[in-house]
A and B are shown apart, each in its own frame.
Chain A
Amino acid sequence: MSAVPLHLTVALDGAGWHPAAWRDPAASPKALFTAAYWAALVAEAEHGLLDFVTIEDSLALQTTRLDGHDGRTDQVRGRLDAVLVASRIAPLTSRIGLVPTVTTTHTEPFHVASSIATLDYVSSGRAGWRAQISGRHTEAAHFGRREVPELRPENLADIDKAPLVRELFGDAADAVEAVRRLWDSWEDDAVIRDVATGRFVDRDRLHYVDFEGEHFTVKGPSIVPRPPQGQPLVTALAHARLPYEFAARGADVVYVTPHDTEQVRAIVGEVREIAGEVRDPDAGELKVFADLVVFLGEDGDEARGRRARLDELDGAAYTSDAAIFTGTPGELADLLLEWRAAGLEGFRLRPAVLPTDLNAITRGLVPELQGRGAFRRAYEADTLRGHLHLPRPASRYAGSRR
């Protein structure tokens, strides 16, 4: 029996998600900050017909601590701006979606709206955004605008109740709403070039967004005309009720982190229930993807051996918020289809080592899934929304003339 096709994306970060990945013989640690490195990875992902790639980012150096600099010299430290990496790659690819991470906490929603809309222009309709909050004291100290106490494990035990986390998610929800309004603030046909009346735009088709939240207001309209997709894809990673609510309100795709099939059912059920309560019915269905770290090998022993060698180099067993899969592409396909049957639409795989585990996804997992009728054999759309079968929405302001 053939399964319903699933969606497949990869999360790109540095040399891969294992902290010692950069020491793998296949890694190219000297190239991490070059365009060629990122271009090769995304070309490989596009070759594998993946829906999109996400690009991790943060406004502080990577650390093994929850908050604060750890001073370690034996792991990758340093990152490029994810939006600019995505834009640099866009002209070199033609189908794959590009979804950079941008925080909502220290950025200006007006700038975020402009840069993601511009990425949508540069990529001809393949842009997305992974909206993320920054709860760390370390990041706040890089901006000096907001006092944020050090994030401690005890604040995370019950994040739904922590006032700061509530505030940051409130701010994030406002940022997403402001950005979405800005994307709609130019109707599609606002540029009229009417020589007879001398008008370049029809100002009645440009709209003030007049967003007013607790922490900021944005007047609008956007400085960038409505992007090719109308609304670029908004995505978010979520581990608890508060972020599920955030995603249910503002995102098109949420990445969750179940560790077994039982949890898949429970989390998907919870997310669907929340979406039923808080999601605008016009926003369409929220897609739920699961995050998984993957170590892949021709046989299970090979994959386990790679993982053990890296753990040894790093001096600690690798742990993650997401489940860690170690095995063959065939076994991974079994797991994905089982989880798919439990209610997920797709997966965001985090390759443990780049490019090794990415290549195993595109050259091992993808053919395996195709063989089972569970993955596309060719791109069927040109835009990222198209890959996800999401319609191009009309501007919320269309038809409302001032």
Chain B
Amino acid sequence: MKQVILAAHFPGVNNHTVWSDPASGSQIDFASFTHLARTAERGRFDFFFLVDGQRLREQRGKIHDLDVVGRPDSLTVLSGLAAVTDHLGLAGTINATFNEPYELARKLATLDHLSGGRAGWNVVTSSDAFTGENFRRGGFLEHAQRYERAEEFVRTVNELWDSWAAEDLVADPSAGTFARADAGEFAHRGTHFDIGGHFTVPRSPQGRPLTIQAGDSEGGRAFAAATADAIFSRHSRLQEGQAFYRDIKSRLAAHGRSPDSLKILPGVTFALGDTDAEAQENADHIRRQQVSPQTAILLLEQLWNRDLSAYDPEGPLPEIDPDVSEDSIIKGRTRMYRDPLKAAAEWRALAESKKLGIRDLIIEVTGRQSFIGSPSRVAEEINEFVQGDASDGFILVPHLTPGGLDAFVDTVVPLLQERGVFRAEYETTTLRGHLGLESER
């Protein structure tokens, strides 16, 4: 039987995090990160996962103020977490557009040393002139160019990591040799990066920290199949997941890779209860907290691409059509709807047939796949997804900071362990080891 991979996402900056719940704590204090990481490690999770953003979102030209806002620097907080955990993998989302390979390769290799081989990065490529306003190099790249740069970025980082062989660090006082003469030597001459010299970090425990990718377009899939160790996917429903899984795994042979060498991990939410009915009630309550009246209007605006602040959240959908011009009302977040007119027509039809006002409709249409039920149902479904090749495991997205994973670890994990599909104890010390991937020494 396939073993389930589990990662814990720190509930951060998005409307899935319920900050209004009295049990919700700080999104920024280190104690919150420690709590979630230790809970994940207690549950023998594979890794801890952070997402990223490099500019506060804006909508209608104003800083977004309804969701959790403000997050720490990923690699810095992960390095702190290496001190309070022993086995848990530590992966951060890092933007390839607003970083340089030499600096980032150093930081990731450093984290790998300081955590004893537990570092990973999720390479994202989101780039827009809006976020670029915070950076020296600006930021705008065409969609196709983003993947070109990202691909060359990953290749360059790998070259830097490979520039030290394990034997290059000698550190023998009697022989008087600290490092071999050509340790760290590299030269990369490419379209996006033309760099050369010597890398400063000796080969790290994993050799190459784990590489994760999130892209979903043709370019994104090709990129992932060529270089990634894992994919953070949004295909979390059974059939979609199976189709995505087949597509990605079938691309690997062309790169001389085995199907096991790339793990597919959708991001999913969950809601638990003693009974399935109670869990459903909890899930409904969570959804209503996630989509406040104000949030409902803002989410509606993201499809309509218009200022809808005058609309009543409990009232009907606007009669006016979405604005399909290039200019987006939301900045700092991808526009999610490929065909807004078609989506709006579907929303109208759904609202009509179910007699839903704006907020109730938004609650219905913006939810993502979640596992809802008693612990045994949730354990069962997770296992079905994995054994049915809809994924290799999941990145769990709790709705509460920092205690949102507690119940899952206490009730669902033991059931997965009983079924023999999830480890009872860590068997390896590295992130690659946990995922059953070869170390790149």
Cβ distance A98 to chain B, nearest Cβ, rounded Å:
11
B residues less than 8 Å from A32 (CB atoms):
171
Is A138 among interface residues, defined by CB-CB distance under 8 A? yes
Cβ distance A202 to chain B, nearest Cβ, rounded Å:
7
Interface size class of B (residues with CB under 8 A): 35 or more
What 0/1 pattern do residues 73 to 99 of B give for CB contact below 8 A with A?
A: 101110110111000000000000011
Cβ distance B52 to chain A, nearest Cβ, rounded Å:
9
Is A281 among interface residues, defined by CB-CB distance under 8 A? no
Q: Find the residue from B30, B164, B196 having the highest chain A CB count within 10 A.
A: B30
A residues less than 8 Å from B366 (CB atoms):
none
B residues less than 8 Å from A141 (CB atoms):
195-197
A residues less than 8 Å from B69 (CB atoms):
191, 200-201, 206
The answer to whether B200 and A60 touch across the interface, beta carbons within 8 angstroms, is yes
B residues less than 8 Å from A201 (CB atoms):
63, 65, 69-70
Cβ distance A242 to chain B, nearest Cβ, rounded Å:
22
Q: Report A177-214 residues with CB < 8 Å from chain B CB.
A: 186, 190-191, 193, 195, 197-203, 206
CB-nearest residue of chain A to B182:
A71
The answer to whether A34 and B294 touch across the interface, beta carbons within 8 angstroms, is no
What 0/1 pattern do residues 107 to 123 of B give for CB contact below 8 A with A?
A: 10011011110000000
A84 and B114 alpha carbons, distance in the complex (Å): 8
B residues less than 8 Å from A313 (CB atoms):
176
Q: Report A210-239 residues with CB < 8 Å from chain B CB.
A: 215-221, 223-225
Our pick among B34, B77, B133 for the contact of A87 (Cβ within 8 Å) is B77
Our pick among B29, B73, B98 for the contact of A224 (Cβ within 8 Å) is B73
CB-nearest residue of chain A to B68:
A200
Is B250 among interface residues, defined by CB-CB distance under 8 A? no
Task: Count A-side interface residues using an 8 Å CB cutoff.
Answer: 78
What 0/1 pattern do residues 275 to 306 of B give for CB contact below 8 A with A?
A: 00000000000000000111100000000000
Q: Report B99-139 residues with CB < 8 Å from chain A CB.
A: 99-100, 102-103, 106-107, 110-111, 113-116, 133-137
B residues less than 8 Å from A223 (CB atoms):
53-56, 70-71
A118 and B70 alpha carbons, distance in the complex (Å): 11
- Residues A122 and B80 in contact in the complex (CB < 8 Å), given A22-B178, A224-B70: yes
Q: Report A84-111 residues with CB < 8 Å from chain B CB.
A: 84-85, 87-92, 106-111
The answer to whether B76 and A118 touch across the interface, beta carbons within 8 angstroms, is yes
Q: Find the residue from B68, B79, B197 having the highest chain A CB count within 10 A.
A: B79
A residues less than 8 Å from B79 (CB atoms):
83-85, 87-88, 122
Cβ distance A28 to chain B, nearest Cβ, rounded Å:
9
A80 and B164 alpha carbons, distance in the complex (Å): 14
Is B66 among interface residues, defined by CB-CB distance under 8 A? yes
Is B72 among interface residues, defined by CB-CB distance under 8 A? yes
The answer to whether A79 and B178 touch across the interface, beta carbons within 8 angstroms, is no
A residues less than 8 Å from B180 (CB atoms):
73
Q: Find the residue from A27, A109, A144, A217 having the highest chain B CB count within 10 A.
A: A144
The answer to whether A88 and B70 touch across the interface, beta carbons within 8 angstroms, is no
The answer to whether A224 and B72 touch across the interface, beta carbons within 8 angstroms, is yes
The answer to whether B103 and A115 touch across the interface, beta carbons within 8 angstroms, is no
Q: Report B134-185 residues with CB < 8 Å from chain A CB.
A: 134-137, 164, 169-171, 173, 176-181, 183-184
- Residues A144 and B54 in contact in the complex (CB < 8 Å), given A73-B178, A78-B201, A111-B73: no
Is A77 among interface residues, defined by CB-CB distance under 8 A? yes
Q: Report A287-329 residues with CB < 8 Å from chain B CB.
A: 313
A143 and B132 alpha carbons, distance in the complex (Å): 18
What 0/1 pattern do residues 29 to 40 of A give for CB contact below 8 A with B?
A: 110111100010
The answer to whether A121 and B28 touch across the interface, beta carbons within 8 angstroms, is yes
Q: Find the residue from A23, A77, A90, A313 having the highest chain B CB count within 10 A.
A: A77
Q: Find the residue from B55, B111, B113, B178 having the highest chain A CB count within 10 A.
A: B178
A224 and B74 alpha carbons, distance in the complex (Å): 11
Is A76 among interface residues, defined by CB-CB distance under 8 A? yes
B residues less than 8 Å from A58 (CB atoms):
200
Is A59 among interface residues, defined by CB-CB distance under 8 A? yes
- Residues A218 and B134 in contact in the complex (CB < 8 Å), given A23-B176, A85-B114: yes
The answer to whether B195 and A186 touch across the interface, beta carbons within 8 angstroms, is no
A216 and B132 alpha carbons, distance in the complex (Å): 11
Our pick among B73, B107, B136, B293 for the contact of A216 (Cβ within 8 Å) is B136
A residues less than 8 Å from B294 (CB atoms):
197-199
The answer to whether B169 and A78 touch across the interface, beta carbons within 8 angstroms, is yes
CB-nearest residue of chain B to A58:
B200
Q: Closest 3 CB pairs between A and B?
A: A122-B80, A198-B294, A219-B133
19 A-B residue pairings within 8 Å (CB atoms): A23-B176, A35-B82, A58-B200, A61-B184, A73-B181, A76-B179, A77-B184, A78-B202, A84-B75, A87-B76, A88-B83, A88-B114, A109-B136, A114-B73, A115-B75, A117-B72, A121-B29, A143-B195, A223-B71
Binding site for A on B (CB under 8 A): 19-20, 28-30, 34, 53-56, 62-63, 65-73, 75-77, 79-80, 82-84, 98-100, 102-103, 106-107, 110-111, 113-116, 133-137, 164, 169-171, 173, 176-181, 183-184, 193-202, 292-295
Apart from A106-B100, A145-B137, A199-B66, list 10 A-B contacts with CB within 8 A. A39-B83, A74-B176, A78-B183, A78-B201, A80-B110, A84-B110, A85-B114, A118-B73, A141-B197, A224-B72
